[in-house]
Amino acid sequence: MPHNFKLTGDYYVSKYGSDSNNGLTPDTPKRTVQAGLNLITTNNKTLVIGAGTYREVISRNLSSLSGTIISGDGTVVMQGYEGVFFSLQAVNTVTTINNIIFRGYSSILLATSSGTVASTIANFINCLITCPLKTFIPQQGFNTFNPSFDTTVFVDNLNYSVSGYSTSFSTITNSIIINSYFSTQTINNSYVNAASIVTIASSANYNNIQGAIIRNAATTVTTGTYQDFNGKYYNLSIVGNNTSVDAGTVGNPFYRADTSGRPFSFTNHRILYSTFNVNSISADPLFNNILKQDFTLQPNSPHLYRASDGINNIGGTQLATRVASTSASLSGGSASVTSLNLQSSDYVVTSPATSGFVVSAPILVNATPKVLKVINYNGLLAFNKDNSGGSVLNINVPDGLTYTAASAQNGANPDRLTYYMRWTTGASQPTVDADWNNGGLVTAGNYSLFEWNTKPSLDYGGLGNGEQNFNTGHTPTYINATYIQLKVVLRNDYLI
């Protein structure tokens, strides 16, 4: 089968594969993540998961298999539901999970095998974990478990904890915590919103903490009843174990800073613990749209250049010029629309057409050429191809390519969302095709195909990173622009 994998690895999974395939090449991928994980039997192997939503129970023991990498290629969603779990067991391993969205799982469990002395490290990089009112529990057997999170977003997780009998610490860097409880060894360059609690065992700096802080101090309460920031009670006299999140002994899972067990506001915490959060702030981060999980920053955000290196931003976030679908550039008389209707703030394909497109008005990026970091798609369309055949029940989704089972030579995975863009480095707003000079990288006036939610780039042949044949083996050329123009194609005729 044709494919549009951009990453290379040892094993492959695609929604358009089959578990009867060997999973060893991009053209013979497994269909389920579980089948792909089962292929990993030796050290230093990479599993590449193709774009799309995977509704699976996951359970895999990766004990003693160090160097495992599980990497999402495009927008990859692991979708759980009530009673469903995602579980990876490991002993003496290093496992990296990269670019995956976890939604709806009852629990996400990373554990060492019970009774085994083990040192386990789980690295989460560029992930989003949203399991509303559920539990994300890296859980340890007997020795050391050290999960780390970099550029990871936690949204609506009732509780994150690390539980066990010895040293169990997490580190959080460049991450975002929304409406969650979090227990960690260190937290740096991260954001904690006002409805969250973060328990800090060791150090914290260069953060934006609006929520409550609990400090692991030398004098730790071990008896009595404690009511946390969200009104939940914990009995500190209960001996902790690996299944009880209500226990509150030293190390499992909440630490207390004084005899009343009260969490601190940022201001009081800074006074009482003057060596913590020296370079931190507590302020509205000015995200563009937190309700749509758009964590890009407005131009006056206090996160800008406030990370420890003085260059990057708190939370690993990017500055973005936000162009909403209701703005003049994408609706009304300023945009060119073909075969689409605007319903409320959403475009839909006009029947009997199966596709349509909107061409934006020129969008000013910067007065002088500026590198485009990312073009985000924030429509949050729950695109679902379980309805086979071209059908209006297949929710419209932006994608510039055609994919059908009958004409698979096109090779485009409709879960890899794409858009067309042209740009200019000129100082004046373009008025004719020739003004869109594309920086001299592509024929003037032409549109190139790019992938949403990634940094737009071209390969050495001039293909945009939304093309199936985009060459990932070459150092990409990034886009400098003063103005951009988008052409967004919507389709509803995908086949499974």
Phi, psi for 60 (deg, rounded to 5) = -150, 135
Distances (CA, A) of 125 to 98, 116, 150, 163: 5, 27, 5, 22
Are 78 and 106 within 8 A, CB to CB?
no
Spell out a b/e string for 248-265, using b for 16 or more CB atoms within 10 Å of the CB, else e.
Answer: bbebbbbbbbeeebbbbb
**pLDDT (tens digit per residue) in 414-471:** 778 889 999 999 999 999 999 999 999 999 999 999 998 889 999 999 999 988 788 8
Residue 267: DSSP 8-state: H
Distances (CA, A) of 108 to 58, 83, 86, 165, 279: 9, 11, 5, 20, 32
CA distance 450 to 417: 9
**pLDDT (tens digit per residue) in 91-136:** 667 789 999 999 888 777 765 554 444 456 678 999 998 876 555 5
Angle made by CA atoms 363, 366, 372, in degrees to the nearest 5:
80
Cross-strand partners of 478: 457
Q: In the structure encoding, which two tokens stand for residue 109, read together?
A: 């469990």
Q: Which of 460, 453, 458 is nearest to 481 (CA)?
A: 458
CA distance 29 to 343: 39
Are 154 and 132 within 8 A, CB to CB?
no
pLDDT at site 206: 97
Low-confidence stretches of the chain (pLDDT < 50) are: 1, 114-118, 139-144, 162-168, 217-261, 406-411
* Residue 440: Cβ-neighbour burial (10 angstroms; 0-12, 13-18, 19+): exposed
DSSP string, 55-70: E--EEEE-TT-TTEEE
Helices (H), 121-264: none
The pTM score is 0.81
CA distance 450 to 470: 10
* Segments making up each domain of the chain, as ranges: 11-272, 321-491
pLDDT at site 142: 39
